[in-house]
């Protein structure tokens, strides 16, 4: 896959706006994970592969080449791969998404907890009283 270039059509956009070229690159499999794993320190190819759940070496090599061509990742021998200054800037720009995702996850977890509590409450208060049916429930015929 070639490097998305601003001004030329990219995946998802015929205009090739800079943001669309960036989103094309970031949307490629494993790219965000590679950037995330390089956020704190340099990693060798082998270390990076282990951090990325042992992804295929072919895919990792391709993504690292794309990120190096884009000036986002550099190879510092012998330390390994690291974020270039533009890669660090990109990661800084993405951090608000990290904070939003953490808040969103908390919201989803709270909604799930509320749902479980409501279901448990409904189950514990559903006492069957002879002759009274729940609203909207069909009456059962009793056999003699």
Domain membership of residue 94 as a residue range: 7-120
User: Is residue 111, in this structure, part of any structural domain at all?
Assistant: yes
Tallying the residues shown for the chain, one arrives at 144
User: Is residue 139, in this structure, part of any structural domain at all?
Assistant: no
User: Is residue 66, in this structure, part of any structural domain at all?
Assistant: yes
User: Is residue 128, in this structure, part of any structural domain at all?
Assistant: no
User: Is residue 46, in this structure, part of any structural domain at all?
Assistant: yes
58: which 2 tokens? 């072919």
Domain count, the chain: 1
Which domain CATH number covers 88?
Answer: 1.10.10.10
- Tens-digit pLDDT profile for the chain (144 aa)? 677 766 776 677 777 778 888 888 898 999 999 999 999 999 999 999 999 987 899 999 999 999 999 999 999 988 899 999 999 999 999 999 889 999 999 999 888 888 888 887 777 776 555 555 556 656 566 665
User: Is residue 1, in this structure, part of any structural domain at all?
Assistant: no
User: Is residue 129, in this structure, part of any structural domain at all?
Assistant: no
The whole-model pTM stands at: 0.69
3-state secondary structure the chain: CCCCCCCCCECCECCCCHHHHHHHHHCCCCHHHHHHHCCCCCECHHHHHHHCCCCCHHHHHHHHHHHHHCCCEEEECCCEEEECHHHHHHHHHHHHHHHHHHHHHHHHHHHHHHHHHHHHHHHHHCCCCCCCCCCCCCCCCCCC
User: Is residue 137, in this structure, part of any structural domain at all?
Assistant: no
């Amino acid at each position: 896959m070639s490097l998305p270039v601003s001004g030329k059509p990219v995946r998802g956009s015929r205009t090739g706006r800079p943001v669309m070229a960036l989103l094309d690159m970031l949307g490629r499999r494993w790219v965000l994970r590679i950037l995330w794993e390089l956020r704190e320190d340099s990693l060798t190819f082998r270390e990076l592969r282990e951090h990325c759940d042992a992804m295929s070496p072919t895919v990792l090599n391709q993504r690292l080449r794309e990120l190096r061509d884009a000036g986002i990742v550099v190879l510092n021998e012998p330390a390994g791969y690291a974020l270039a200054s533009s890669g660090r800037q990109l990661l800084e720009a993405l951090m608000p998404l990290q904070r939003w995702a953490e808040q969103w996850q908390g919201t989803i977890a709270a909604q799930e907890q509320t749902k479980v509590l409501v279901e448990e409450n409904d189950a514990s208060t559903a006492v069957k009283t002879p002759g009274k049916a729940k609203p909207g429930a069909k009456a059962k015929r009793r056999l003699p």
